[in-house]
Amino acid sequence: MDINGTRFHLCTGENYWEPLLRERSVKGLWWDRERRSLGLIPHIVQIGRRPGENILTPGDRRGAARDYFGNIYWIGDDQRHVVVLPSGTEDAGDFWAVNDLFSIPQNRQEQALFQPEAQPVHAIPLLRGLAVTKRHYMVVGTLEPCGLLLFDLHAGGTPLWMRWPEETSFSPFDICASADGGVWILDRDASGENASIWKLDCHLRVEPVDDRYRVFQLAYEKLFSPEGEESHARGARYLPEPNYLDGGSPLPVHNPCAVESLGDGSLLVLAESESGKYSIIHRFRRSDEINRIELEGEILSRVLREPNLSGHDMAFVGEETELPGTAAGTLTIVGRDGNQAYAFAVFADGGNFDIRILPRYIPMRRFGGKALLAGPAGALYDIGKRWFPLAEQPRRRYESGEEIDGLVFDGKEPGCVWHRIVLDASIPAGTSVTFESRCDDDKEALIYRQWLAEPALVLRGNGSEVVHYEPFTKRELTSDGTGTWELLIRNAKGRRLELRMRLSGNGRATPRVRALRVYYPRFSYLEKYLPAVYRENQISAGFLERYLANVEGIFSDLEQHVASFHDLLDTRTAPPEYLEWLANLLGMMLSSEWSQARRRLFVDNAVMLFRRRGTQIGMRALLRLALEPCPDETVFDELRTGQSCTPLGRAGGASIRIIERYLYRHLPGVSIGDPTEPGELKTTVVSNTLSERGTFLRLNERYRRFLRMRYSQGMQTQETTPIEALNAEWDTHYVAFTEIEFTPQARNPPPCVLTGCFFYDASRR
């Protein structure tokens, strides 16, 4: 509501526009989450398959991962070695080879005393699937024999080969790191059948999915046994069973090819549809499938010309979320042609799973098909022995135009005169936003009214009409046509108002509407301030009404700013840029390192701090305000009561030592205490006694050192020793300085006492 009592209806946000677009069956508009605005639907340019171009197959997959330090590991083309690309370099090299598992020591003395006469011939396994865990372990799958190689990337050394029983027909295909420090393993054969999911915990132990175990009877030969006894022994081994995907509920998973872990502990599985024409994303939590998203139809048709996507691999780059138990990020899927990648915005919250394609054109050049790799800033793909980030190309294509009606508003009273329409929008050159309206007191009668075109929108020069509201950032305001637009509704009178909004573009750009405000009822200068004679002629009165409405809009803005001036003096409502001004009124300067909340707290309590300046509680409040990570109003409780509520203690998580360096204080700073000592702040009393100079033994030691230096400088001849010079002046018979003790005396002292006074004064400086 403005200063004249004019109210407005607000239309903004995804929760308002998306349901309305579905209700009105509008296909050409969408709510852009990245820019938080309503605009024309974009179209992603799709790269067609060239004649003779090969299609990527699951056999092209190898597996790759990036560790915390930026080193990239992947399985070589021959599936017999692991390649590494160190961070910051462009030259890749071999990290480890399968033959290292069966290397024979060259020095015969290094071999064991007991060994077979002939070395056994080992089956050299193939490598497939690779991941690096959060604890910096690398897990690599092996085939024939099946198992996992566990590399400690911190300590180095030979990997641990964790073999699977042959009865399990374990065949790792894809491995991804899980949020808890373990890994997920996709187990499938070459045909894509008999697929299952294995889970390893943070200690790389097989984790049961549904507390189901399989018992294996293991037979092994004893090396030593009594004569006549069977040389074979049997034992049982328990292995948790995986999550079998082929017999899943409610529908089986066909030909899975990739897995990715979300931050909430759930797992995404990329698989084929039964027809094989598109892919399906399955979301699992343990063994239960909780979501299934088909990559065809409506989810893609709004931005893709061919609304089906068959994926080769995927990579997920997570984002931080404020709510626990949720996951968000960008899921990138590359098609089987290897020419283009598609980005999806993902948000998971319990059983809810929202996935939405992003209008990004991401071409790929000479993709080798080994893997998509999740990096800190986005996904990477391989070209030979190099890895490059996926780069979006700014080639946007938009619908030429679309309109939406059904924007119905209630004026609360019959015969309401609707005032104006205000848009927070970006309308670049070549685009436009136009309105049509119809009005009636009866909502059901609106469909019988004719649409009336409204005037063109005009960009306001002084920003938003809402006081202290900035709809756009300074960077966004640099774009052409960005700001607050408005138009005056001409002849809309009635309780119900319906608007039809049309967004038009040239195919290369789109208008973006962030918020729509419809003001009602009109505050009429003609009715309030002019005589009745100005209202006698209906035609001239209508013109004068609309003309004065423009003037009313200008004056209302000025009056609104004047009426809300008190908001600038209140630290709770003052804009951030006014805090410096408020501090200057009080003769203060704010630290540039302080947060906005800390600045507001300081200015709000500046008067109390000034009144208590120099006092113990005032200094304590200032220290807490400056050093505590999250200061609040409790910092100033002592200032309000005038009494010390708490002892001087820790502020900002560290002990504080306060040393006052005034001219009248000669106490050395070291006597204040050790600042690293635990506990609360300590108060040291400054006095004229010698107690704060140290113990008696310490004073004597310092005093003797002072005397030796003093009388060494004052010796008359080289034959005279310092102790002899002292005895001559003091009229004493000391043999060594160790016999002298410090004893200050009263007034009119002998030379020995005067020397002691000099030492006393020197120790105070």
Contacts of 359 (CB under 8 A, 6+ apart): 42, 43, 44, 303, 396
pLDDT for position 115: 58
Q: Is there a single domain that holds both residue 592 and residue 651?
A: yes
In a domain, 25, yes or no: yes
Q: What is the pLDDT of residue 238?
A: 62
**Single residue among 508, 523, 538 that ends a domain in this structure:** 523
The whole domain housing 33 covers 7-41+397-523
656 and 745 within one domain: no
- Give per-residue burial for 736-763: e unless 16+ CB within 10 Å, then b: ebeebebeeeeeeeeebbebbeebbeeb
* Structure-block tokens of residue 166: 């042959």
Domain count, the chain: 3
Q: What is the pLDDT of residue 571?
A: 83
Give a yes or no: residue 634 inside a domain.
Answer: yes
DSSP states of 487-513: EE--S-BSSEEEEEEEEE--SS---EE
415 and 480 belong to one structural domain: yes
What SS3 class is residue 593?
coil
**What gap in Å lies between CA 457 and CA 434, rounded to an integer?**
7
pLDDT attached to residue 451: 94
Task: Name residues whose C-beta falls within 8 Å of residue 200's C-beta, 6 or more positions apart in sequence.
Answer: 139, 148, 182, 183, 184, 185, 206, 207
Same domain, 412 and 466: yes
Say what angle helices 696-713 and 751-764 make with each other, to 10 degrees: 110
Secondary structure tally for the chain: helices H, strands E: 13, 39
* 633 lies in the same domain as 663: yes
Spatial CA neighbour of 336 closest among 76, 127, 74, 61: 61
pLDDT of residue 765: 45
Task: For CA atoms 532, 538, 540, 544, give the dihedral sign.
Answer: positive
Confirm if 624 and 651 have CB atoms less than 8 A apart.
Answer: yes
Place of tokens 């089987």: 336
- What residues in the chain have per-residue pLDDT under 50? 108, 110, 219-220, 233, 247-250, 647-655, 663-665, 746-749, 754, 764-765
Given 612, 642, 672, which residue is the final one in a domain? 672
Nearest-CA neighbor of 422 among 357, 339, 487? 487
Q: Are residues 418 and 464 in the same domain?
A: yes
In this prediction the pTM is: 0.68
Single residue among 523, 547, 567 that ends a domain in this structure: 523
Domain-embedded: residue 696: yes
d(CA 132, CA 139): 6
Residue 48: predicted pLDDT? 79
Residues 408 and 516 in one domain: yes
* β-strand pairing of 288-294 with 279-285: antiparallel
**Which has the closest alpha carbon to 176: 255, 265, 290?**
265
Q: What is the pLDDT of residues 550-595, one digit of tens each?
A: 888 788 888 887 888 888 888 888 888 888 888 888 888 888 888 8
CATH number at residue 518: 2.60.120.260
Domain membership flag for residue 408: yes
Same domain, 418 and 516: yes
700 and 661 belong to one structural domain: no
Helix (H) / strand (E) element for 364: namely: none
In this structure, what are the phi and psi dihedrals at residue 54, rounded to the nearest 5 degrees? -75, 150
Report the C-alpha gap between 325 and 342 in whole angstroms.
Answer: 26
Asked if residues 628 and 652 have their Cβ atoms less than 8 Å apart, the reply is yes
Question: What's the rounded Cα separation, in Å, for the pair 722 and 262?
Answer: 82
- Is position 216 within any domain? no
Task: Return the DSSP state at 211.
Answer: S
Quote the crossing angle between the two packed helices 722-730 and 751-764, to the nearest 10°.
120
Residue 279 backbone dihedrals phi, psi, to 5 degrees: -105, 160
170 in a domain, yes or no?
Answer: no
Output phi, psi for 759, to 5 deg: -65, -40
Q: Evaluate whether residue 720 is within a structural domain.
A: yes
Does one domain contain both 517 and 405? Answer: yes
Contact between 424 and 472 under an 8 Å Cβ cutoff? The reply is yes
- Give the Cα separation of 250 and 259 in Å (integer): 19
- Residue 251, in any domain of the structure: no
Q: Are residues 705 and 587 in the same domain?
A: no
CA angle 265, 266, 271 (to 5 degrees): 150
Could you tell me if 624 and 655 lie in one domain? Answer: yes
**Distance in Å from the first CA to the final CA of the chain:** 69
Sheet containing 126-132: give its strands across. Answer: 126-132, 137-143, 147-152, 160-163
